[in-house]
Amino acid sequence: MAAGLRAVRRWGLVAAAPPSLAFTRSAFVVKKANNAQPNWLGVGLAFGTSAALWAFLINQHNEDVMEYQRRKQARGHKCTECS
């Protein structure tokens, strides 16, 4: 997003801001990553969400396979007493 804003300013597509707004502080502050102390809550949420989605996907796949086999068996059933 910042690169886009720089490009707009470079090409002069935006009118110059008043001097009072030129030195305002940004609401978004970027700080250097601290690799000595990982964000364990974020790591846990990421892996937990991934595991939950995989569990849901495998469960849904197993249900779909069972339904496919049930319909395949019902389609192959040609008894005259049932119909």
Confidence of residue 18 (pLDDT cuts 50, 70, 90): low
What pLDDT sits at residue 28?
Answer: 79
Say yes or no to pLDDT of 69 above 70.
yes
Residue 57: CA atoms inside 13 Å, Cβ hemisphere, count? 6
Query: In this predicted model, what pLDDT tens digit does every residue of 3-17 receive, in sequence order?
Result: 666 665 666 555 555
Q: Does residue 72 carry a pLDDT above 80?
A: yes
% the chain with pLDDT above 90: 43
Please state, in angstroms and as integers, the Cα–Cα distance from residue 25 to each residue in 6, 21, 72, following that order.
Answer: 16, 9, 65
Average pLDDT over residues 55-80: 92
Q: With left for phi above 0 and alpha for psi between -120 and 50, is residue 29 left, alpha or beta?
A: beta
